[in-house]
Amino acid sequence: MSTSNVERVANATPVLVRNQELAAANYLAFEADRVLAVNLMSAPGAGKTSVLEATLRALGGKRRAGVIEGDLETTRDADRILALGIPAHQINTGTVCHLDARMVSRALEQFPVGGFDVLFIENVGNLVCPAEFDLGERLRVMVFSVTEGADKPKKYPLMFHRSHAVLLNKIDLLPYCGVSLEELTRNVREVNPDAAIFPVSCRTGEGIAEWVSWLDAQIPGE
Ligand SMILES: Nc1nc2c(ncn2[C@@H]2O[C@H](COP(=O)(O)OP(=O)(O)O)[C@@H](O)[C@H]2O)c(=O)[nH]1
Ligand SMILES: [Mg+2]
């Protein structure tokens, strides 16, 4: 299509500027507590909670971890984390399609994170808005399931572009969904040449050790 037929829409910046201020305060609080805050993002169902379950199991007792869960409704994801014996706090956003820095700052009042080495914040499932709202995290990690199609990094570039690591999940399903891992990886690289990319399967466990080893290296030492 000719570019003259494409309209680009301007973003609502004052909301984002205010969010950045609150995110900066959260960032300083996390640094003061020496906790690595990880903002985990994806479309609904890509496998964020499954990745968390696999990651928490692999970290074992080696690192003290906590989880803040974001969903429109229910405590299902927090319950899945609590079932592993890991402290978890659920935020329900109602109709809001992403977490923001204010929600996280309020959660921290009830869920102190000073005793953790790593705090995972599972964002609301959405491939668009979470990428615009920083929470004060040091790491942004994205889960992308191969069933979503190889073209999505190009069509929804912001989350891919801003992520420090991209997990290509559900590789056990590659034979059934007609997606080439090479093409998908190439498309991620085109929007983000620097991201660490990990093909994984939460179903078979493939690739989880490589991802967890990378993550573990980001956690501040004693
Ligand atoms: N086949 C397969 N299914 C997976 C994998 N990871 C997650 N799932 C399934 O995908 C669905 C959504 O997973 P969930 O972790 O709840 O995704 P979230 O909404 O991003 O937190 C569940 O039915 C999981 O069992 C995987 O690696 N392979
Ligand atoms: Mg989830």
Sign, CA dihedral 192-195-197-201, equals negative
Give the SS3 label for residue 152. Answer: helix
Which ligand places an atom closest to the C-alpha of 125? 1
Amino acid letter, 63:
R
Which residues, chain by chain, have CB under 5 Å from ion ligand 2?
48-49, 77
**What is the average pLDDT across 58-80?**
96
For ligand 1, atom 8: residue with the closest CA: 47
Per-residue pLDDT, 61 = 81
Q: Would the pLDDT of 73 be above 70? A: yes
**What is the average pLDDT across 151-173?**
98
User: What ranges make up the beta strands (E) of the chain?
Assistant: 36-41, 65-71, 88-92, 118-122, 139-145, 165-169, 196-199
Ligand 1 pocket at CB < 6 A:
42, 44-50, 125, 169-170, 172-173, 201-203
User: How far out from the chain centre does Cα 60 lie?
Assistant: 20
- Which ligand 1 atom lies nearest to the CA of residue 52? 15
Write out pLDDT tens, residues 5-52: 787 776 668 899 999 999 999 999 999 999 999 999 999 999 999 999
- Which ligand 1 atom lies nearest to the CA of residue 169? 27
Q: Would the pLDDT of 100 be above 80? A: yes
Q: What separation in Å is there between the alpha carbon of 120 and the centre of ligand 1?
A: 17
Cβ atoms of 149 and 170 within 8 Å: the answer is no
Per-residue pLDDT, 10 = 67
| 12-218 belongs to CATH 3.40.1160.10 | no
Q: What separation in Å is there between the alpha carbon of 89 and the centre of ligand 1?
A: 21
Could you tell me the pLDDT band of residue 188, with boundaries at 50, 70 and 90? very high
Torsion, CA 217, CA 71, CA 128, CA 181, rounded to 10: 50
Cβ atoms of 86 and 7 within 8 Å: the answer is no
Beta-carbon count within 10 A of 37 CB = 24
52/47 Cα distance (integer angstroms): 9
- Which ligand 1 atom lies nearest to the CA of residue 122? 21
Helix axes 208-218, 48-59, angle to 10 degrees: 70
Q: Would the pLDDT of 221 be above 80? A: no
Residue boundaries of the structural domains of the chain: 12-218
Paired with 142 in beta bridges are 41, 166
Per-residue pLDDT, 2 = 65
Q: What separation in Å is there between the alpha carbon of 1 and the centre of ligand 2?
A: 37
The dihedrals phi and psi of 32, each to the nearest 5 degrees, come to: -60, -35
43/125 Cα distance (integer angstroms): 5
Q: Tell me how far apart the 2 most distant CA atoms of the chain are, in Å.
A: 57
**Mutate which of 77, 179, 202 for ligand 1 pocket (most atoms within 8 A of beta carbon):** 202
Q: Would the pLDDT of 194 be above 70? A: yes
**What is the average pLDDT across 128-138?**
97
**What is the average pLDDT across 70-83?**
98
The whole model's pTM is what? 0.96
Average pLDDT, the chain: 95
Per-residue pLDDT, 12 = 67
